Amino acid sequence: MAFTRKDFIKKTALLGTAGMAFSTAGCTIESESPSVPNSQKIKPQPLKPGDTLGLVAPASPIYQSSVFDQMLVDLKALGFQLKLGEHVRSQRGYLAGTDEERSSDLMAMFRDDTVDAIMCIRGGWGCNRILPLLDYEEIRRNPKLLIGFSDITSLHMALYTQSDLISFHGPVGKSVWTDFTKEAFQSITEKGTPSLFMIPSEFDDSFVVNSGKSRGRLFGGNLSVLSSMVGSGYLPSFKGAILFLEDIGESVYRIDRMLTQLKLAGILDELSGFVFGKCTDCSAGNNSLSLEQMLDDHIKPLGIPAFYGAMISHEDDNITLPIGIEAEIDADNRTIQLLESGVAV
């Protein structure tokens, strides 16, 4: 099915909280996880126009002052007030300051009653290093939206497992705020709409790995980061979950290596569904399997609905996904349907 960018926005708005009927024609797999109440998980308050975003750099810095300044202009244009972390401009090699500085900035934003939500300015590397320094009980007592992607994946996993907090895999501060990205972000963080996400035709390079529909808790993020967290104690149970992944600048054999790590850790075998967003600039190179061949090797034998090509990537147009909520995927139509809100509505 081909959908334009306008189709995406229209469909998202029209669906609202209503359910959607799916045709089972041609679907060979039905996979559904046990429906587990999510009442024990904490949903933050939704964003409102005029709210204050706390900006932090828990991983790498923005090196160019012009890029940093443009980020501030773009976020203000979205209608937000901004509060900068004390060390948000710090630079220590590839890190935005010491581990203590980055973790203290993040905790300060959770404690600050004038801050309504927290946005990470970029990914890079460094979030894994600060996980032991965070006060997860205090975060639980002061739940707020935390938004970001790429290296921020490790914070999403840790906040879910240690603080029971739903956080949001979405834009970072320096993201390009296209109409697509902005509409998706607002529908999830401000309206709390259980949206249906589909692939606009102009971005459609998708393919089906296994047909069918599946339902489960939605977990995921950057593959490199997730695979580095195996054995850490910060990953959730993936039993019956839908896993979504993305990555950038990795050769196919490295993607193969990281998926193999998830396989050997038993994670892939527990899933009810699988979505690989986009692997931006992931070249096959000479004497290599294609990305599609490699995904077939790892995912097809699982017998779960799976597809490649969702708008989850390091590219400009991206959807926002709440971590840990109930969702449904339809591999044949390459859609992700959120079945509940990620915010307290």
Do both 209 and 304 map to the same domain?
A: yes
Residue 119 has pLDDT above 90, yes or no: yes
Q: With 80 as the cut, is the pLDDT of residue 33 above it?
A: no
Same domain membership, residue 322 and residue 218: yes
For residue 171, give the nearest of 99, 71, 306 by alpha carbon: 71
pLDDT at 112 over 70: yes
Active site residue 150: yes
Q: How confident is the model at residue 203 (pLDDT cuts 50, 70, 90)?
A: confident
Is residue 282 within 8 Å of residue 252, measured between CB atoms?
Answer: yes
Please, which pLDDT band fits residue 327 given cuts at 50, 70 and 90? very high
Domain boundary (165, 187, 209) is at 187
- Going by pLDDT thresholds of 50, 70 and 90, the confidence category of residue 205 is confident
Q: Which of 314, 326, 328, 341 is catalytic?
A: 314
pLDDT value at 258 more than 70: yes
Which pair of structure tokens corresponds to residue 87?
A: 């060390």
Of 178, 115, 101, 112, nearest in space to 147 by CA: 115
Residue 29 has pLDDT above 70, yes or no: no
pTM (two decimals) = 0.89
Q: Which two tokens stand for residue 72?
A: 């501030």
Give mean pLDDT, residues 207-212: 97
CA angle 119, 122, 125 (to 5 degrees): 120
Asked if 334 and 198 sit in the same domain, the reply is yes
List the catalytic residue out of 60, 150, 175, 272: 150
Query: Mean pLDDT over all residues of the chain?
Result: 90
| In a shared domain, residues 128 and 79 | yes
Do residues 117 and 182 share a domain? yes
| 169 and 213 together in one domain | no
Asked if residue 46 belongs to a domain, the reply is no
Residue 155 located in a structural domain: yes
Number of independent structural domains in the chain: 2
Note down the domain range covering 120: 52-187
**246 counts as catalytic:** yes
* Pairwise CA distance, residues 237 & 220, whole Å: 12
Question: Which residues are registered as beta bridge partners of 324?
Answer: none
28 & 76 share domain:
no
Residue 259 lies in a domain: yes
206 catalytic per annotation: no
Per the residue annotation, which of 101, 246, 326, 328 is the catalytic one? Answer: 246
Say yes or no: 94 and 15 in one domain: no
Lowest pLDDT segment from 15-19, 86-90, 124-128, 129-133: 15-19
Residue 13 pLDDT greater than 70, yes or no:
no
Predicted confidence (pLDDT) per residue in 283-293, tens digit: 787 789 999 99
- Whether 344 is covered by a domain: the verdict is no
Which has the closest alpha carbon to 306: 343, 336, 283, 265?
336
Encode pLDDT of 216-232 as tens digits: 999 999 999 999 999 99
